[in-house]
Structure 1
Amino acid sequence: MPSRARLKPRKMPTQQRSKATVEAILAAAAQVFRRHGYAATTTDRIAQRAGVSVGSLYQYFPNKDAILVTLAERHIDAGFALVRLLLREALAETPPLAAMLRRFVLAMIVLHEHEPELHRVLFEEAPLPSHVRRRLRERENELASEVSRLLEAHPEACVRSPDVTAYVIVHTVDSLVHSFVLHPPKDIDADMMTNEAVRMLLRHLTAEGS
């Protein structure tokens, strides 16, 4: 992948028309990446799909990787913002522990089901640069902080360290849901997976302090 300097947009659009062009390029790129995968996607294909010339595309992005990075950053931020919103709603309502865990698992499913094919390209095919992966880790840490607060609001969760437990929960559920959504098993549906995940987490949380 090119250097970080070559992964930044060439210029930021300021006028409405140029903003619309950039959005068209990004929307087209998402479609092309989903359909053809990372390796087969080219700037020519993206420009054709967006209905702009390759020259117009290069005014804003130096290469396909710069477009991919912008898509990845948006995808990460939007997805985790939605999950945090759902968790904050749960924190405000303080549902029982089992219901809170179910909400968390379902929220993570929502995160991964948002453009799953693009998600697969971004996190399984594309060589994402370190600063994008660092951004992902930061969002995961923010999410773990939300889960930690939820655990602290539930005294029936007998945890020694809410922060450590929240970190383990976030990464365990993220890995499980990622695999389930992107590579769905033949005989397991979403309800079955969610129910088993909640039971597993509940057993861990209520047994940890014993």
Structure 2
Amino acid sequence: MYSIASPTQARSKKALERFLNVAAELLANNRFEETGISQIAQLAESSVGTFYRLLGDKDMLLYAVHDRFVEQSRAAIDALVAEELGHSTLPLQAQIEGFIQGLIRLFDGSEGLLRALIRRSSADLQFRQRFHQLNAYIGQTFCRIALARPGDLGHPHPEQAADLAAHMLLAGMNYFTMVGSLGVTPREVVPGELSRLICNYLEVAKH
């Protein structure tokens, strides 16, 4: 499994962060493959020697960008679900809608990077496994919210329905990320419409 040693010095930590930021931007703009290490170091306001000391090669840089994206996403999802479940007085429908809309906002603006990482995962097993883990985490988190009050779900098989709804949500988000739209549906209404679709399928009680 790929991994890089976490720098102990503050200066090295800042340099690593700049390398990751530059790589993420290059990936988002489809310029990562064509950009050499010396240019990456220049863009990161660092040196080639520092690049090799911290990362070793471009593949490790790519893995590190992916790893950071996954970890940051999990942390943001944890914060989002804590916020939604913390509002226990809200109807379940409002909690589900809040989670779905918050999740879409979380990835809004990262479509270019996401597309690059998803494309890479099609040819790289470790990338693919990490994406599967993130998708599974999102799905499990959604189910935690949806099944927090099973009595508010009218579907005859709540657990099964919540699992399928999670897959529907992930499929819709992935398609939206790769294509950039959902047909003629305006971008700004996608979060609300996905929420409506899923809540109707789960037959969430309306208060």
Q: Same fold (TM over 0.5)?
A: yes
> Which position in structure 2 is the counterpart of 1:178?
174
Q: Is contact 1:80–1:111 with CA below 8 Å preserved after alignment?
A: no
Tell me whether 1:189 sits opposite 2:183 in the alignment.
Answer: no
Aligned counterparts of 1:12 and 1:168: Cα–Cα separation in 2: 38
> Which position in structure 1 is the counterpart of 2:81?
87
Alignment of 1:56-205 (within 5 A): 56-94=50-88, 95-125=90-120, 129-154=124-149, 155-159=151-155, 160-162=157-159, 164-185=160-181, 187-205=184-202
What displacement does 1:67 show? 0.7
State the superposition RMSD in angstroms: 2.6
> Which position in structure 2 is the counterpart of 1:47?
41
What displacement does 1:127 show? 5.5
What displacement does 1:80 show? 2.7
Deviations 1:93-142 (A, max 9, x none): 13223322321221221232152211111112466643343333333333
Q: Is contact 2:66–2:117 with CA below 8 Å preserved after alignment?
A: yes
Specify every segment of 5 or more residues in structure 2 that has no aligned partner in the other structure, as ranges.
none
More helix by share: 1
Most deviating of 59-68 and 41-50: 41-50
SS in structure 1 at match of 2:24: helix
Q: For this pair of structures, how many residues does the alignment match?
A: 200
Aligned counterparts of 1:150 and 1:32: Cα–Cα separation in 2: 36
Aligned counterparts of 2:96 and 2:187: Cα–Cα separation in 1: 15
Q: Is contact 1:108–1:173 with CA below 8 Å preserved after alignment?
A: no
What displacement does 1:177 show? 1.9
Aligned counterparts of 1:151 and 1:178: Cα–Cα separation in 2: 21
Letter in 2 for 1:150: I
- TM-score with structure 2 length normalisation? 0.81
Aligned counterparts of 1:47 and 1:126: Cα–Cα separation in 2: 25
- TM-score with structure 1 length normalisation? 0.80
Letter in 1 for 2:193: E
SS in structure 2 at match of 1:8: coil
Q: Is contact 1:148–1:165 with CA below 8 Å preserved after alignment?
A: no
Aligned counterparts of 2:45 and 2:121: Cα–Cα separation in 1: 24
SS in structure 2 at match of 1:39: coil
Aligned counterparts of 2:147 and 2:163: Cα–Cα separation in 1: 14
2:203 to 193, 196, 206: 206
Deviations 1:4-27 (A, max 9, x none): 4xx433x43111122122112112
2:16 to 10, 14, 22: 22
Identity %: 23
What displacement does 1:70 show? 0.9
Specify every segment of 5 or more residues in structure 1 that has no aligned partner in the other structure, as ranges.
none
Aligned counterparts of 1:114 and 1:128: Cα–Cα separation in 2: 24
